[in-house]
């Protein structure tokens, strides 16, 4: 079994694109049984403060044009339900990963879809558990126990300690067994105007990079 570490934030739209493309390429190449994704937390909110809606909305609009499968939507639920923190959701991914690699991978994807497409407040314990209930590989009762006991809270702290070093430059970053890292594979962007008050412009988008990474 080959493991690729995926360092990301659940509210980073570039990470959602990376996860979708990595999973899609893995399936297309027939490598689902040979390659697992090990999710780690790159907690943007611990670097920059609470997640701002204006940033995610503008990034979603730009990235929706290059990755239709993501079904990006701007936030449509009431503003006071916007998840300015997703540390508990990230903790849930760690807890699910301890159940099985498939559980961790599939819960990570389901939480991203719940936020980006359905405008669900994935900061809330019950929302996290409701999303988990849609993932066949996840034992929801075991997950609830893990969240309530804080068993995997230290995993977030440990990931943050690594994310603050030069080892992990950004969200998303893929890290391979030989130490090789690549951030935001295949995509280059710049901002027209200040971040969040302007908008991102995609300068390059090469989806073939995922096949190359998986067959390296």
Residue 121 confidence (pLDDT) above 90? yes
∠ CA(17), CA(205), CA(213), 5° rounding?
Answer: 70
Strands 2-8 and 35-41: parallel
Whether residue 196 is predicted with pLDDT greater than 70 in this model: the reply is no
Distance CA 102, CA 108 (A): 10
Report residue 117 as tokens. Answer: 């497409």
Is pLDDT above 70 for 123?
yes
Closest to 38 measured CA to CA, from 92, 84, 98: 98
- Whether the predicted pLDDT of 197 surpasses 80: no
**pLDDT tier, 37 (very low <50, low <70, confident <90, very high otherwise):** very high
The arithmetic mean of pLDDT across residues 126-133, rounded, is: 98
Omega before 172 within 30 of 0, i.e. cis: yes
The pLDDT score that the predictor gives to residue 194 is 78
- Residue-range domains of the chain with CATH: 2-214 (3.40.30.10)
Q: Give the Cα separation of 41 and 9 in Å (integer).
A: 6
The predicted structure's pLDDT at residue 176: 93
pLDDT of residue 146 exceeding 90: yes
């Amino acid at each position: 079994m080959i493991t690729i570490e995926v360092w990301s934030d659940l509210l980073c739209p570039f990470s959602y694109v990376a996860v979708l493309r990595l999973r899609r390429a893995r399936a297309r190449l027939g490598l689902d049984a040979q390659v697992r994704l090990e999710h780690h937390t790159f907690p943007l909110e611990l670097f920059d403060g609470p997640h701002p809606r204006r940033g995610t909305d503008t990034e979603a609009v730009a990235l929706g044009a290059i990755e239709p499968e993501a079904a990006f939507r701007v936030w449509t639920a009431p503003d006071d339900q916007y998840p300015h923190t997703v540390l508990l959701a990230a903790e849930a991914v760690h807890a699910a990963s301890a159940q099985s690699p498939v559980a961790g991978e599939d819960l990570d994807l389901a939480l991203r879809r719940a936020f980006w497409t359905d405008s669900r407040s994935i900061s809330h314990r019950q929302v996290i558990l409701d999303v988990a209930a849609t993932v066949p590989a996840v034992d929801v009762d075991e997950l609830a126990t893990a969240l309530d006991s804080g068993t995997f809270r230290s995993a977030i702290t440990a990931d943050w300690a690594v994310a603050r070093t030069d080892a992990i430059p950004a969200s998303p970053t893929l890290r391979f067994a030989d130490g090789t890292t690549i951030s935001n594979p295949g995509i280059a962007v710049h901002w027209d105007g200040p971040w969040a008050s302007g908008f991102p412009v995609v300068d390059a988008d090469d989806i073939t990079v995922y096949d190359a990474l998986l067959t390296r």
